[in-house]
Amino acid sequence: MDILEKLQILGAAAKYDVSCASSGSKRETNYGIGSTFTAGICHSWTDDGRCISLLKVLFTNECLFDCAYCINRKSNDIKRATFTPYEVAELTMNFYKRNYIEGLFLSSAIKNSPDWTMEMLYKTVYLLRYKYQFNGYIHVKAIPYASLDLIRRTGFLADRMSVNIELPSEKSLKLLCPNKTKESILKPMEFITKVGEEERNFVSAGQSTQMIIGATDDSDRKIITLSQHLYKKFKLKRVYYSAYTPVNDDPRILKVEKPPLLREHRLYQADWLIRVYNFTADELFEKDENLDLEVDPKVMWALRHLDKFPVEVNKASYEELIRVPGIGIKSARRIIKNRVFHSLDFDDLKKIGVVLKRAKYFITCNGKTYERHLIDTVPEKVKLQLIEKKAAEQKVKQLSFFDSEVFTSVITGEI
Amino acid sequence: MYTVFLYDGTFDGLLTCIDKILSTHVNEDEVVIAEKDRYQPMFFDSPVYVALDKNRSQELRQKVISASDKITFKKIYYCFLSEAQNKETYIYKYIKLILKHGKKVKYLYHNDVVNFVEKASKNVSREIGKYMGLMRFSEIKNGVLYAQFEPTNDILVPISYFFRERLKNFKWVIHDKKRSKLSIYDTKMIKFLNDINLNASFSDDENLYQKLWKLYFKTMAIEERKNLKLQRQNMPKKYWKYLTEKN
């Protein structure tokens, strides 16, 4: 089989892995080829609008396991291929020097045995780092059930490692993933966290994971609570959510016509809120099990707490400011720096780059509301205004929330 | 009536010019600075040409950095690289502000001069950021990597420094087709040149890897998630001309 065919098979098999980050790593050497860039760099965007920053491939798609949601499962009759470490290294180097990519994302199905597979990943990364003296970004998967020693040795060569948690609950895992147990996933994850805390240069850009959403009946609340746990307990850098794309016809999987992209988008927003904005999962959900698809989770929270609004821009603390829908970390910092010099009105806010589209319903400047319009205290009315505005701006007849035209930002990477 | 000052088109030339203006007594609002070769004289103008003086520009550079910081100075440089109209005059006024207020100027967003410099420099740094990812090199017969692009702003210098770090073991050439400028790196240092004639053909590997990359690019798109609008938003059409995967 030639390299073109291998790349096609093993690239296609890896495309459902959502992590694309190439950021957060600092490796300083005076020798060798390439570098990493703290902010990460996107090198292209595919027809689905997702960025390509790494050469994302599987080492092999021959699998011993038979997970219901996976295209590469044992029971599927598909074309199989396996790279050699040398082939992956050559591809990476040649793509890298042409500036097609920022580095390598190497995952794999489990062929022969977990240890055999992990060893192949290790060999590939070793070849890149030592024979080719490659200093670019490398993200490599830790294979469940592989020996911790192999994982450890690989981790010293990689920027990032990840173990896929796959599904948000043990029950779902048992249902769809008969060969994996909760332990087989959490054990290596915990191990990577532990070594990372003890050793320098081990997985310097941290650990991430990904889970599939929409293939089982797990609620958003369950998903976000789990993520919160993963951030706290395992110090993960990122949890990625992947709207399930139906690749297999399996009765155990919930019927999905189209991948639930809007739900995925809302989960990323909620994830951002717990990771960066100090929200807790309980705060975001209170009595609900799922996120509101019509408005983003910060608006959802604000609507439930209208008594905390409006916030006075010239007096509010940083913590209060970042909870205003439409005001992010950057805007909040700018507001605080600028109001030292003079008090801010709505024009000033616009000048320093604060977007008022949503914020205007929740703030005052020196006691004044935006364009003298009254701030409503009835949540339903505020919500309606926010949604109607959006519909008018989008110029669509009537919002269909599953229409992919409605939202254009799919956040998958941190770059 | 305006007092027109002309400079040679280089950044150091502009700094020399501004330093000269700062030491003469002219009304700030009546100052116009223009590039010598692009300047179209008006009937009543009597332009003054200020020749490059490295010591003088170096002096002003130090003065600005010590009054503010390196990041602020970089903003001025990036603004200079932009194609914004009247950028020279704005840079002059911005430097005056820095010498008066120090690095606090960056918080004076409501000031038109500050706003102008912030916007222009952000535009430039954004374009540099895009090209870090979207520059495409091809390997030519002697193993040299060759890239061409047509940036909106004059970013050949900063982008070349980025690739010096990135591709430090390779010989490469980056060609700004729009301005007919080149940077050449020989694994030790970069040389900046004006257009020379390049005649080279691809190496044996080149066609294979272009084919592999195109195939990979196509393979990675998930049909069920197709969203061409989002693709164009992230990767506007103006970049496509030199993108291997889009040709």
User: pLDDT of A221-241, one tens digit each?
Assistant: 999 999 999 999 999 999 999
Tokens (6 digits) for A374: 């009254």
Contact A341, B108 (CB under 8 A): yes
**Pair of tokens at residue B109:** 């967003």
A403: confidence class by pLDDT, cuts 50, 70, 90: very low
**What average pLDDT does the structure give for chain A?**
89
Question: Could you give the CA distance from residue B151 to residue A336 in angstroms, rounded to a whole number?
Answer: 36
Say whether pLDDT at A408 is over 80.
no
| Test mutation, B224, B233, B238, chain A, max A CBs within 10 A | B224
Confidence (pLDDT) at B98: 95
Q: Which pLDDT does position A399 carry in this prediction? A: 42
Q: How large a percentage of chain A has pLDDT more than 70?
A: 92
The confidence score (pLDDT) of residue B104 equals: 85
Q: Is there a contact between A106 and A138 (Cβ–Cβ < 8 Å)?
A: yes
> pLDDT at residue A402 above 60?
no
Q: Report the C-alpha gap between A268 and A411 in whole angstroms.
A: 7
pLDDT the model gives residue A46: 95
**Contacts of residue A404 in chain B, CB cutoff 8 Å?**
225-227
CA B240 to chain centre: 20
Neighbouring CB atoms inside 10 A of A114's CB total 20
Confidence of residue A391 (pLDDT cuts 50, 70, 90): low
Phi, psi of A212 (to 5 degrees): -90, 135
The CA distance from B8 to B3, in Å, is 17
Cβ of A99 and B228 within 8 Å? no
Q: How far apart are CA B108 and CA B105, in angstroms?
A: 5
A103: region left, alpha or beta (phi > 0 left; psi from -120 to 50 alpha): left
Does residue A248 sit at the B interface (CB-CB below 8 Å)?
A: no
CA of A379, closest CA in chain B: separation in Å? 32
Q: Can you say whether residue A201 is alpha, beta or left, with left for phi > 0 and alpha for psi between -120 and 50 degrees?
A: left
> What would the pLDDT profile of A259-276 be if each residue is shown by its tens digit?
899 999 999 999 999 999
Contact B220 A34 (CB under 8 A): no
Q: Which of B135, B165, B212 sits opposite A7 (nearest CB)?
A: B212
Chosen for mutation from B225, B232, B247 (greatest number of chain A CBs closer than 10 Å) is B225
Asked if A117 and A85 count as a contact pair (C-beta separation under 8 A), the reply is no
Question: What's the pLDDT at A188?
Answer: 96
| C-alpha radius of gyration, chain B, whole number | 22
CA distance A335 to A356: 13
pLDDT of residue A396: 44
A54-58 and A51-52 strand pairing: unpaired
pTM > 0.95: no
Amino acid identity of residue B229, one-letter, is: K
Stretch 63-122 of chain A: residues touching chain B, C-beta under 8 Å: 91, 94-95, 97-100, 102
Cβ contact A415:A42 at 8 Å: yes
- Note the pLDDT of residue B19: 96
pLDDT, position A392: 60
Distance CA B86, CA B39 (A): 11
CA distance A346 to A329: 18
Cβ count near B14 (within 10 Å):
26
What are the two backbone dihedrals, phi and then psi, of residue A339, each rounded to the nearest 5 degrees? -75, -10
Whole-angstrom distance between the N-terminal and C-terminal Cα of chain B?
Answer: 52
- Separation CA A49–CA B153 (nearest Å): 26
For chain A, give the secondary structure using H, E and C.
CCHHHHHHHHHHCCCCCCCCCCCCCCCCCCCCECCCCCCCCCCEECCCCCEECEEEEECECCCCCCCCCCCCCCCCCCCCCECCHHHHHHHHHHHHHCCCCCEEEEECCCCCCHHHHHHHHHHHHHHHHHHCCECCEEEEECCCCCCHHHHHHHHCCCCEEECCCECCCHHHHHHHCCCCCHHHHHHHHHHHHHHHHHCCCCCCCCEEEEEEECCCCCCHHHHHHHHHHHHHHCCCCEEEEEECCCCCCCCCCCCCCCCCHHHHHHHHHHHHHHHHCCCCHHHHHCCCCCCCCCCCHHHHHHHHCHHHCCEECCCCCHHHHCCCCCCCHHHHHHHHHHCCCCCCCHHHHHHCCCCHHHHCCCEEECCECHHHCCCCCCHHHHHHHHHHHHHHHHCCCCCCCCCCCCCCCCCCCCC
Taking alpha carbons only, the member of B123, B119, B146 closest to residue B135 is B146
Single out the residue of A151, A162, A160 nearest to residue A201, CA to CA: A160
Contact: A49, B231; criterion CB under 8 Å: yes
Q: Is the pLDDT of residue A394 over 70?
A: no
Q: How far is CA B210 from CA A36, A345, B138, B148, B215, in A?
A: 23, 54, 8, 15, 9
Q: Integer distance in angstroms from the first to the last C-alpha of chain A?
A: 36
Judged against a pLDDT cut of 80, whether residue A179 lies above it is answered with yes
The C-alpha atoms of residue A270 and residue B13 are separated, in whole angstroms, by 52
Size of interface A-B (CB pairs under 8 A): 151
**Whether B137 and A98 lie within 8 Å, measured CB to CB:** yes
Residue B57 CA to residue B19 CA, distance in Å, equals: 7
> In a mutagenesis test of the B interface, which of A29, A45, A92, A343 is the best target, namely the one with the most B β-carbons within 10 Å?
A45
A119-171: pLDDT as tens digits? 999 999 999 999 999 999 999 999 999 999 999 999 999 999 999 999 999 99
The structure tokens 């990625």 sit at A240
CB nearest to A12's CB, from B163, B169, B219: B219
Which residues in chain B land under pLDDT 50? none
Which of B133, B219, B223 shows the shortest C-beta gap to A41? Answer: B133
What distance in Å separates the CA atoms of residue A315 and residue A336, rounded to the nearest whole number?
9
Q: Is the pLDDT of residue A376 over 90?
A: no
H-helix or E-strand spanning residue B182: strand B181-185
Contacts of B76 (CB under 8 A, 6+ apart): B64, B91, B94, B95, B117, B121
Asked if the model's pLDDT at residue A379 lies above 90, the reply is no
Report which of A126, A195, A182 is spatially closest to residue A154, judged by C-alpha positions: A126
On whether any CB of chain B is under 8 Å from the CB of A52, the answer is yes
Is-contact A269 A297, C-beta < 8 A?
A: yes
| C-alpha closest to that of B174 among B210, B150, B153 | B150
Best residue in B123, B164, B166 for a mutation probing chain A (most A CBs within 10 Å) = B166
A8, A49, A98: residue with CB nearest B215:
A8
Q: Do B166 and A405 touch (CB under 8 A)?
A: no
Percentage of residues of chain B with pLDDT beyond 70: 100
Kindly tell me if the per-residue pLDDT of A202 is higher than 50.
Answer: yes
Q: How far apart are CA B48 and CA B30, in angstroms?
A: 14
pLDDT at A370: 86
Average pLDDT over residues A75-88: 96
Query: Does the pLDDT of residue A401 top 50, yes or no?
Result: no
pLDDT at A211 over 80: yes
Q: Nearest chain A residue to B243 by CA: give it.
A: A44
Report percent pLDDT > 90 for chain A. 72
Looking at beta carbons, which residues of chain B come within 8 Å of A42?
Answer: 133, 234
Q: Which two tokens stand for residue A172?
A: 């779902």
Residues 6+ apart with CB under 8 A from A179: A64, A65, A66, A67
Would you state the pLDDT for residue A407? 40
List of chain B residues whose C-beta atoms are within 8 Å of the C-beta of residue A53: 133
Instruction: State the ipTM, two decimals.
Output: 0.93
Pairwise CA distance, residues A393 & A371, whole Å:
19
pLDDT digits (tens, 9 = 90+) for A14-45: 998 888 888 888 776 778 888 888 889 999 99
A314 class by beta-carbon count within 10 Å (0-12 exposed, 13-18 middle, 19+ buried): middle
Structure tokens at B74: 């970089």
